[in-house]
Structure 1
Amino acid sequence: MTRAAETFAETFAETAVAPAEPLAADVHAWADPQTEDERLEFWATAAALLDWQTPWETTHSWTPPDPQAQRGPDIRWYSGGTLNAAVNCVDRHVAAGRGDVVALHFEGEPGDRRDVTYAELQDQVNRAANALTALGVGAGDRVVIYLPVLVETVVITLACARIGAVHSLVFGGFSAEALRFRVEDTAAKLLVTTDGQFRRGQAVPVKENADAAVAGENAIEHVLVVERTGSEVAWTAGRDVAWGDVVDAASPVHEPEFFDAEHELFIMYTSGTTGKPKGLVHTTGGYLTGALFTHLRLFAHPDPARRGEDVHWCTADLAWVTAHTYEIYGPLAAGATQVIYEGTPTTPHPGRHFEIIQRLGVTSYYTAPTLVRSLMGAFPDGVPAEYDLSSIRLAGTVGEAVNPEAWRWIRREIGRDTVDDAGRPALPLVDTWWQSESGSTVLSPRPEDAATRTLKPGSASRAMPGWEAAVVDDAGAPVDAETQGNIVLTRTGPSMARTVWGDPERYYTSYWAQYAEQGWFLAGDGAKQDADGDLWILGRIDEVINISGHRLSTIEIESALVTHSDVVEAGVCPVEDPTTGHAAVAFVVLTDAARARLADADSDGDSAEEKLLAGLRAHVGAVIGPVAKPRRVIPVPEVPKTRSGKIMRRLLTQLHDGAALGDTTSLQNEHCVEQIAAICDARGTAASRPSTQETA
């Protein structure tokens, strides 16, 4: 070890704590590593916040990508070490005397509530682990979990980790076909589902989708069913088992096993621009280290003595990687208290989230820009003063780059009790950028940046400690400031996905092939770096619009549209244009007030809509420039989004052009596809079909 690394290690040793007390770790005082030796020492110190059964021998090893073999890098962290993820998330907090601390504040959509302490969570996880073993599930077996946001979802996830089974969570709103693919691709032995879920005020059937998904050839031996809505369900004797019969009746005593740091923890499916979804494999030691450290660094109170006041809320569905990291493993490994909420944020009214924040004293609110935009539309005059949001200490966004207008709204409305001496918004806002592939946050402002430097609306700012990123051209050369290029990860952290399940070649071709010589990971997003060195994410590389030689990001145009008072949300996509190369088409969700105005226009409705859409085009021209004006603006009831809140823009292009649709199984609102297709048909947007309405 170099002398610099030794000094760095000594600095960390002064703030290091016993593994049983991660909430006491003064991670905000840790210096950012500058050299490779310091980076490895940094991640060794972060891993020491976990409880290891066997210490590791080698912090990190890396075998570069192999173009000839079409193989990605062999990434290993903490080789030789053994641990158990569930023990780190539950048992050690109980052993440290914190069993009576609330781990989960559960909020059901119908209004039912349940507080679960760490001691109660340990009881439930142990029972579920014993039940899994009784059902023949063991280490390395795959379990697909098709549940909404429930306490049982967290319990069964941790129970899988406890016995070494590999879990794969599937959004409860996905279709039977989406579920079938994941069941078959993982060769899962067990499917966990529910009779139904509450969604938008109704009990929605779930098990019938599960039954359809496992009706064909697969490796499923049992279907474990949680009773949530009390709905009548079909029952297959011998295959189907009730949660109450096998979990609640199981013993609360379970002896955990300990697994190698590189033991597979979960498979996370992410939609690709082409082909079937990719099953990214995350392993135990490295992923848990990244999840715990970044949760503490971004969301825990900077004063360790005050972290008992924290109430964290990540609003993501549990099947999304954001929820894995900042709703399951990160907060629970830290011993934090958090909120989990079952349903939609507007049921039974748009202020539901604000009620929960007020009642539970939420301190960190981490959500998607798409939810923020919906709240902006629901509360055009701001969040009503009747909601007490004074507990909020910081907010965060994830999923896509947040539009500047939404960024300002969060600080002004949700953070209205946090202002500087001049009365200006001062709420720390961590606008995080990361991916299913990275496993934890890669770029983000630090919470203290709100007081020490100027925050920039929509900028992901800088790399987290232990990660390194750059913006380069297709050949790997750095691009000039304010020039769009490809964002690459030149140094990755321990939470990085190791491969694509069953398809290592796809792991190489999707992420490593273009910059294999440099050993860089291609994230797939366009980005730029400003003169201050801050990074800005500009959307997917394949969604950049090149209009007459001008490269414009879809997010830029969408951000301009949502600053208009009549627009709640916008999805912009590129379409081919024989003159300009590309043209932009905007699909917009109008405010209730705008829709009411158009409805009241009666016989003049067409011209009223034409004026509105022409006004929106002109607005984009005024905000960005004439070259950015969309060729068409099309009102739609909603835009298609993945469960992470990302707008699926390639699908909008396909719908506009009347082309064959790609994979839609990752959508959280698949029903809108037919609606948008009908609207495009009526407007004759595809070159192959006659136009039935002139566009604005």
Structure 2
Amino acid sequence: MTDNFDVKLVENAKYYTPDAEYKRTSWIGDYQKTYEKFLSDPDAFWSKIARELEWIRPWDQIREWKYPYARWFLNAQLNITANCLDRHVAGDRRNKVALIWRGEDGKERVYSYQRLLGEVMRFANGLKSLGVKKGDCVCIYMPMVPEQLIAMLACARIGAVHSVVFAGFGTTALNMRINDAEAKVIITADISIRRGKAIPLITIVKEAIDNAPSVEHIVMYRRRKEPPVELRPGREHDFYGLMEGVPADCPAEVMDAEDPLFILYTSGSTGTPKGVVHTCGGYMVGTYYTTKTVFDLKERDIYWCTADPGWITGHSYIVYGPLAVGATVFITEITPDYPDPGSWWKLIEEQQISVFYTAPTAIRTFMKLGEEWPDRYNIGSLRIIGSVGEPLNPEAFEWYYRVIGKSRCPIVDTWWQTETGMQIITTMVGEPMRPGFAGKAIPGVEVDVVNKDGKPVPPGSGGFLVIKKPWPSMLRMVYKNDERYRTYWETIKGCYTAGDLAVKGKDGYIMVIGRADDIIIVSGHNIGTAEVESALVSHHAVAEAAVIGKPDAIKGNAIKAFVILRLGNKASEKLTQDLMYHVRITIGPIAVPHEIEYVDKLPKTRSGKIMRRVLKAKELGMDPGDISTLDE
């Protein structure tokens, strides 16, 4: 990373200090004192949090660390659904709303904790009637509907391992995940609905299982009434038909803390997807703790995370974390631009959403569309706003803070991964915020920025982001591939290597700037793609940008930028020269793009990550490889 980058973005970033009331009333309290308390006795710290939940049998030991393998809450027994549902029903949340769903057609369904528990138990018994038992794998390939969450919780209820596959994946990607996980049952829907169009999921499923010998049954949620999809007797089952004639009660299966809860395949943006395995006990504790403290959830909050349960954000911060806390969760299949760009702001106004968690790619899309749309609606119910999925660049931070948060809502810009299971770095509610910086390690986790030898870099410098010690919700394995698991801990000895580059400020705040492999070497200088992209986006005319390196006979690589303009701006030679000059003064001459191409969209995974390798492959006339993870 260049010196200019450190000087301009690290040391000159300004602070935003939230109202003192946030710090006084937040669950975490004083960050520094809490973090020091954690460091003084990590086991006692996690033990105190875990005791807020219900266990069938308590643990004999908090953790066992045999590098690079960890076990947490040894010999403890639990069931995560008992903590997400039963304990609330047995307490004073029996009639509290657990889940609100809104469809594109305006239909709304509301589930109390009591109703949700009943649906989960009946569907769990339905799965049992198909022969599903503890340890079996169930693939869930469904749209954003309540039945998706019910299916996940029902699997966990009986100890089946779920593998949720995002319903935007195609046949090949679905087939690979079914076969790798050896799924016994696949739960799906006849259609998903996106921007007014019906997408036939069952067609994709039937093609995907042609070469999937492990699949014995298909369970289908039939949304289309006329004509209904025909079911093949014995092999294909109606979602709600499966719940008829079964007992209403389904006792929660006794699970060991280290029993697998789910397999979730990474997006595959850099290669073959990995089956990340999370276990029952540590994952429950980690997601419960972070949901409660990072979002500072209160009893009357209405919480909306805009992710899909097909991704880890949906697993941790739509399903398991919020329900373990006892929150009211809002979900919808409505996209941010349908039927118009005001759809999400309208929902916030109508539902009185108070905690809102979305992706930087969505925020930058809103920026491009201007302030007119959010200004049409009363979104004053918002109390906390968050970001997840990729670094939130300073310009997007300031827009989000000013336009959506009305210059009063704390922003929790979170960094974490599928592999970490829970949030790792953020600025806790009540602490000063710095645009471009995710923040510090949450209490309970030790992180650092190091060089390739594992030595901490000095403040104001950049290096590799690592986690220094095990944490409860860490992945336990990569399914069927121990070598890929060990790589996380052996790339830099003694640390979990996240694969991201970061800059450590003098105040300890951390700026995540992109993947370690997203580096362009220009005339011997390492230039981070995120560094150049952030500089471009800081120009008033630019909504989004992606850069790649192109072979150059003299420099080794030349930088090419792909730019999406904000509304009201047009591509021109003058604008191109302006952008090049802007990068020059922001970063330095070495980072100036050799070429700028104006585009309408960028190739992204459905979790919002730009797939630069696809841009590069197209530019160089090469095969882009597996692009099943691309959004539309």
Deviations 1:239-270 (A, max 9, x none): 21111211255332112211000010011111
1:130 is matched with which residue? 125
Aligned 8 A contact 1:280 1:497 in 2: yes
Distance 1:138 1:299, change over 3 A: same
Structure 1 residue 409: Cα displacement: 0.8
Q: In structure 1, give the amino acid aligned to 2:546.
A: G
1:202 is matched with which residue? 197
SS of residue matched to 1:171: coil
Structure 1 residue 113: Cα displacement: 1.0
| Residue in structure 1 matching 2:556, options 581, 588, 601 | 581
| Residue in structure 2 matching 1:139, options 134, 138, 142 | 134
Q: 2:608 & 2:424 partners in 1: Cα distance?
A: 18
2:391 is matched with which residue? 401
Alignment length (residue pairs):
605
Q: In structure 1, give the amino acid aligned to 2:614.
A: L
> 1:278-427 counterparts in 2 under 5 A?
278-301=274-297, 307-378=298-369, 380-416=370-406, 425-427=407-409
Distance 1:448 1:211, change over 3 A: same
Q: In structure 2, give the amino acid aligned to 1:174.
A: F
Q: 1:194 & 1:75 partners in 2: Cα distance?
A: 37
Greater RCO (Cα-Cα under 8 Å, separation 6 or more)? 2
SS of residue matched to 2:461: coil
Q: 1:499 & 1:365 partners in 2: Cα distance?
A: 31
Aligned 8 A contact 1:300 1:310 in 2: no
1:432 is matched with which residue? 414
1:42 is matched with which residue? 45
Structure 1 residue 551: Cα displacement: 2.7
Aligned 8 A contact 1:203 1:229 in 2: no
Distance 1:243 1:548, change over 3 A: same
| Residue in structure 2 matching 1:157, options 130, 139, 152 | 152
Q: 2:178 & 2:267 partners in 1: Cα distance?
A: 16
| Residue in structure 2 matching 1:508, options 472, 476, 486 | 486
Deviations 1:562-605 (A, max 9, x none): 233433222222333232233222222233433xx5xxxxxxxx
Q: 2:202 & 2:577 partners in 1: Cα distance?
A: 47
Out of 440-449 and 613-622, give the one that drifted further. Answer: 613-622
1:543 aligns with 2:534: no
Structure 1 residue 33: Cα displacement: 4.2
Structure 1 residue 377: Cα displacement: 1.2
SS of residue matched to 2:210: coil
2:13 is matched with which residue? none
SS of residue matched to 2:550: strand
1:193 is matched with which residue? 188
Aligned 8 A contact 1:197 1:229 in 2: no
1:635 aligns with 2:594: no
SS of residue matched to 1:512: helix
Q: 2:528 & 2:320 partners in 1: Cα distance?
A: 34
Q: 2:386 & 2:270 partners in 1: Cα distance?
A: 30
Q: 2:479 & 2:334 partners in 1: Cα distance?
A: 30
Out of 525-534 and 287-296, give the one that drifted further. Answer: 525-534
Aligned 8 A contact 1:143 1:167 in 2: yes
Structure 1 residue 466: Cα displacement: 1.2
1:562 is matched with which residue? 537
2:429 is matched with which residue? 447
Q: In structure 2, give the amino acid aligned to 1:467.
A: V
Distance 1:315 1:248, change over 3 A: farther
Out of 628-637 and 25-34, give the one that drifted further. Answer: 25-34
Structure 1 residue 274: Cα displacement: 4.5
1:262 is matched with which residue? 258
SS of residue matched to 1:119: helix
Distance 1:617 1:60, change over 3 A: same
SS of residue matched to 1:167: strand
1:478 is matched with which residue? 456
SS of residue matched to 1:484: strand
| Residue in structure 1 matching 2:443, options 445, 462, 465 | 465
| Residue in structure 1 matching 2:211, options 208, 216, 225 | 216
Deviations 1:646-690 (A, max 9, x none): 112222222222222233222233xxxxxxxxxxxxxxxxxxxxx
| Residue in structure 2 matching 1:664, options 618, 627, 631 | 627
Aligned 8 A contact 1:299 1:312 in 2: no
Q: What runs of 5+ residues in structure 1 fail to find an aligned partner?
A: 1-23, 65-72, 302-306, 417-424, 598-607, 670-696
Q: In structure 2, give the amino acid aligned to 1:431.
A: D
2:9 is matched with which residue? none
SS of residue matched to 2:425: coil
Structure 1 residue 483: Cα displacement: 2.2
Q: 1:284 & 1:196 partners in 2: Cα distance?
A: 31
Structure 1 residue 140: Cα displacement: 0.5
Q: 2:577 & 2:40 partners in 1: Cα distance?
A: 58
Aligned 8 A contact 2:27 2:296 in 1: no
Out of 168-177 and 623-632, give the one that drifted further. Answer: 623-632
Q: 1:60 & 1:25 partners in 2: Cα distance?
A: 28
Q: In structure 2, give the amino acid aligned to 1:111.
A: G
Q: In structure 1, give the amino acid aligned to 2:264.
A: M
Q: In structure 2, give the amino acid aligned to 1:650.
A: R
Aligned 8 A contact 2:305 2:356 in 1: yes
Q: Structure 2 length normalisation: TM-score?
A: 0.92
Aligned 8 A contact 2:98 2:323 in 1: yes
Aligned 8 A contact 2:384 2:411 in 1: yes
Distance 1:286 1:384, change over 3 A: closer
> 1:85-100 counterparts in 2 under 5 A?
85-100=80-95
Distance 1:229 1:553, change over 3 A: farther
Q: 1:146 & 1:249 partners in 2: Cα distance?
A: 25
Deviations 1:129-169 (A, max 9, x none): 00110011111100111011110011000000000000111
Deviations 1:147-198 (A, max 9, x none): 1111001100000000000011111111111100100000000101111111
Aligned 8 A contact 1:403 1:555 in 2: no
Structure 1 residue 308: Cα displacement: 2.2
